[in-house]
Amino acid sequence: SWLFEPQSTNLVTYSEDFSQWLPYQINTPLPNQGTSPDGNNNATKIFVTINRTKSVVYKSGSGLGNITRSVFAKKGSADYMFFDVPSSNAGVWFNLSNGEVGTINSGTATIEDYGNGWYRCSCTANWSSGIFAIGLSDADNSTALTANKDILIWGAQTEALSYPTSYIPTSGTSVTRNQDVCTN
């Protein structure tokens, strides 16, 4: 079978360089800490060394309204990863231990196994903020995190679609992939 995708734009301006994202109650993200789904040593470790009530890295200006956010994540010593929007009920938890979607506060969510412990986690919702926040936690529907916990992340994407399309890398600006077309 053929997979034809529509035109789509990744609105996240730094999809792999999480040093361009802002940390909140989290240590400075460490790049090149593991092999990402593209086969390169370019996965970023996000982690804490002390107990926290909420620990996220976030990027402003990455779309709002009815959109789909996604990121590739791999379990470290933390079991859960979540998307969060400050002052909003949009958010979802992903269990990186067993590859299941946890609590969904609004919208719909999916988790897809990419092998070698990697999952592509996505959520489609009506996001009330242009902030894309990725956090780690100890449990479903909680933002609390005990000391010395981490996960790996790579390939963040925000699209003005109701589902995630194939990954579109960015490096400083949003990038548009043209629609797939088949002739004859």
In this predicted structure, the answer to whether residue 17 has a pLDDT above a threshold of 80 is: yes
Contacts with 105 (C-beta within 8 Å, 6 or more apart), sequence order: 89, 90, 91, 92
The Cα–Cα gap between 89 and 47 comes to 24
Q: What is the pLDDT of residues 23-58, one digit of tens each?
A: 999 999 999 999 999 999 999 999 999 999 999 999
pTM of the entire predicted model: 0.93
Q: Which of 82-86, 144-148, 176-180 has the highest mean pLDDT?
A: 144-148
pLDDT band at 1 (very low <50, low <70, confident <90, very high): low
Note the pLDDT of residue 10.
95
Note the Cα 181 to chain centre separation in Å.
Answer: 28
Count CB neighbours of 169 within 10 A: 16
